């Protein structure tokens, strides 16, 4: 075939694709109008060519994902105001062969909340962010579009002695965070965010609106740590608030990564998971390149649910190697500790909104769980490797405490007793582009490969909220259980089998699916 003929053929194919996409878009909008005739769809359904569409498409926290050229642009982005509009989206998407992606905060590490290789729509939950606090019942209803910062702020406005055990980044959306497990600085005292969910509202694959009672205990179990995107659209969550003291104590102790610091890290590995449940000391090994004299740093970052006068004796008894002094510590309210851990200085109102989100960057992450202390020589090698990058982190969160008391099958998140700590490996970069991304990602994969002998085994575990497509994806629409267990058991261990059974029951047509969704049993 001649070059001219080939060009004409491709032009014809492209034209047909565009016409088909426009037709699908128009049919979808018409369907929405038919189901909800008294609401102007232009106020919450945004399609290509509308002013809001482009800004909504680019609303993401990992711009690296925009390099994935195989993903299509969404047929439409819907910003619902209520559950009726979500039900209509599900019904119309099914009717017109569209996939659905649900975006709460846009923090999915691999972009699965807003990317798809087949025609799809995005349900953007940003308008569903109401929070209702009931201090008398020590509970709250929070919609999935709210951020963790908004939730923490609302709790603190209602009470100075209540909080909630969820993540440290305030701009993360509640919907994805809770459904993947969700842990933060109170994980050793109160467990995961998902451990403290007591009810939920969900729109299922048939467009039905369900609560805990009507969805049944199996589905309610699955959405608390098994990833909500496999099972439906979670509209809101009822959570159990937890008690916090009027004053808590925080500290940051920074060490240059020399042999002495590596000895302190070794001691941390042996004691951090055994300390009082009220004490959480996370460890960050980080390298932020400034000049040739910049050192790799070990940062010990802590929250103690108590006063300074009780912390210092506790540290002297259990972890004297750190050399903690009273002047290293600050007493503050729990809500101020939220700001402290997020690296924010100022009033609690800084937790509201995410217009200037400092966490937006090009990055790739991977995760591990550690079941026995890593030898000191490994940290020497890690230090050497970190100098090959400009912005790289190993974030280690201690477990033990309440996490060791909760059964591994209580919810889908199985990483309980026997885990000393979790690792998040994170590399960031400033220059966009496929080549730059590939170079940094390759470096991180090599680090991950190097760590294999020193972390959990059979399987080598991973954390769903630190999503990592490297560990495996669906090869086709109806991947089998045996194919998917390669990555599924890394996230969920023995709970993966039950998740697939729930999936088979509640979504038999596999409507809610993505590259790492739960398959059928």
Phi then psi for residue 267, to 5 deg, are -65, -40
pLDDT at 119 (0 to 100): 93
Burial (CB < 10 A; 0-12, 13-18, 19+), residue 74, is: buried
Pairing mode of beta strands 242-243, 162-163: antiparallel
Is the Cβ–Cβ distance between 80 and 122 less than 8 Å?
no
Count how many residues are written for the chain.
521
Burial (CB < 10 A; 0-12, 13-18, 19+), residue 115, is: buried
pLDDT digits (tens, 9 = 90+) for 343-400: 999 999 999 965 446 556 889 999 999 999 999 999 999 999 999 999 999 999 999 9
pLDDT at 508 (0 to 100): 95
* pLDDT band for position 431 (cuts 50, 70, 90): confident
Of 145, 119, 334, nearest to 242 by C-alpha is 334
pLDDT at 10 (0 to 100): 39
pLDDT at 107 (0 to 100): 87
pLDDT at 291 (0 to 100): 59
Q: Is the pLDDT of residue 12 over 50?
A: no
pLDDT at 293 (0 to 100): 67
pLDDT at 357 (0 to 100): 60
Q: Is the pLDDT of residue 449 over 60?
A: yes
* pLDDT band for position 197 (cuts 50, 70, 90): very high
Report, in this order, helix, strand and coil percent for the chain, each rounded to 5: 40, 20, 40
pLDDT at 24 (0 to 100): 85
pLDDT at 13 (0 to 100): 37
Q: Is the pLDDT of residue 461 over 50?
A: yes
Q: Is the pLDDT of residue 211 over 90?
A: yes
pLDDT at 64 (0 to 100): 66
pTM (2 d.p.): 0.93
* pLDDT band for position 329 (cuts 50, 70, 90): very high
pLDDT at 11 (0 to 100): 45
Q: Is the pLDDT of residue 22 over 90?
A: no
- Arithmetic mean of pLDDT, 32-53: 89
Is the Cβ–Cβ distance between 118 and 21 less than 8 Å?
no
- Arithmetic mean of pLDDT, 307-329: 98
- Torsion 103-105-109-114 (CA) sign: positive
Q: Is the pLDDT of residue 294 over 90?
A: no
* pLDDT band for position 486 (cuts 50, 70, 90): very high
Q: Is the peptide bond before 62 cis (omega within 30 degrees of 0)?
A: no
pLDDT at 236 (0 to 100): 98
pLDDT digits (tens, 9 = 90+) for 64-84: 666 555 678 899 999 999 999
pLDDT at 436 (0 to 100): 86
List, in order, residues 6 or more apart from 161 with CB less than 8 Å away: 243, 244, 245, 246
Q: Is the pLDDT of residue 243 over 60?
A: yes
pLDDT at 355 (0 to 100): 47
- Arithmetic mean of pLDDT, 169-178: 96
pLDDT at 72 (0 to 100): 85
Higher pLDDT, 127 or 40: 127
Residues with a known catalytic role:
466
pLDDT at 190 (0 to 100): 98
Is the Cβ–Cβ distance between 188 and 401 less than 8 Å?
yes
Report helix, strand or coil for 311: helix
- Arithmetic mean of pLDDT, 25-40: 91
């Amino acid at each position: 075939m001649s070059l001219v003929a080939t060009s004409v053929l491709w032009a014809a194919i492209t034209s047909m694709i565009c016409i088909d996409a426009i037709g699908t878009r128009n049919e979808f909008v018409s369907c929405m109008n038919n189901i909800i005739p008294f609401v102007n769809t232009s106020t919450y359904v945004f399609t290509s060519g509308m002013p809001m569409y482009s800004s909504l498409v680019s609303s993401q926290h990992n711009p690296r994902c925009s390099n994935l050229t195989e993903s299509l642009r969404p047929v439409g982005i819907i910003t619902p105001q209520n559950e009726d509009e979500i039900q209509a989206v599900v019904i119309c998407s099914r009717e017109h062969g569209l996939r659905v992606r649900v975006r709460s905060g846009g923090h999915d590490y691999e972009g699965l909340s807003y990317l798809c290789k087949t025609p799809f729509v995005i349900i953007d939950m940003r308008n569903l962010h109401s929070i209702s606090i009931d201090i008398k019942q020590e509970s709250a209803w929070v919609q999935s579009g709210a951020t963790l910062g908004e939730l923490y702020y609302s709790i603190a406005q209602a009470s100075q002695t209540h909080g909630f055990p969820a993540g440290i980044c305030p701009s993360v959306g509640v919907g994805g965070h809770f459904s993947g497990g969700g842990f933060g600085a109170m994980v050793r005292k109160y467990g995961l965010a998902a451990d403290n969910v007591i009810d939920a509202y969900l729109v299922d694959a048939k467009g039905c609106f369900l609560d805990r009672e009507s969805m049944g205990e199996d589905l309610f179990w699955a959405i608390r740590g098994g990833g909500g995107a496999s099972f439906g659209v979670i509209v809101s969550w009822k959570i159990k608030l937890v008690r916090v003291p009027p004053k808590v104590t925080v500290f940051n102790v920074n060490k240059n990564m020399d042999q002495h610091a590596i000895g302190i890290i070794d001691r941390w590995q042996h004691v951090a998971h055994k300390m009082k449940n009220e004490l959480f000391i996370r460890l960050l090994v980080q390298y932020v390149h400034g000049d040739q004299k910049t050192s790799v740093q070990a940062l010990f970052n802590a929250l103690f649910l108590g006063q300074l006068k009780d912390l210092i004796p506790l540290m002297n008894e259990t972890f004297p190697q750190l050399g903690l002094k009273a002047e290293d510590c600050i007493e503050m309210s729990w809500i101020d500790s939220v700001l402290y851990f997020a690296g924010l200085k100022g009033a609690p109102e800084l937790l509201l909104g995410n217009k200037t989100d400092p966490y937006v960057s090009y990055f790739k992450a991977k995760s591990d769980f550690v079941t026995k202390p890593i030898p000191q020589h490994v940290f020497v090698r890690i230090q050497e490797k970190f100098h090959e990058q400009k912005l790289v982190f190993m974030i280690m969160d201690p477990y033990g405490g309440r996490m060791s008391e909760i059964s591994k099958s209580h919810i889908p998140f199985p990483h309980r007793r026997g885990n000393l700590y979790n690792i998040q490996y994170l590399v960031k970069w400033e220059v966009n582009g496929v080549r730059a991304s590939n170079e940094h990602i390759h470096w991180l994969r090599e680090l991950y490969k190097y760590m294999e002998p020193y972390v959990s085994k059979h399987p080598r575990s991973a954390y769903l909220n630190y999503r990592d497509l490297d560990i495996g994806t669906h090869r086709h629409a109806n991947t089998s259980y045996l194919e998917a267990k390669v990555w599924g058991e890394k996230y969920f261990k023995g709970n993966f089998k039950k998740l697939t059974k729930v999936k088979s029951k509640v979504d038999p047509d596999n409507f809610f699916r993505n590259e790492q969704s739960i398959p059928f049993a």
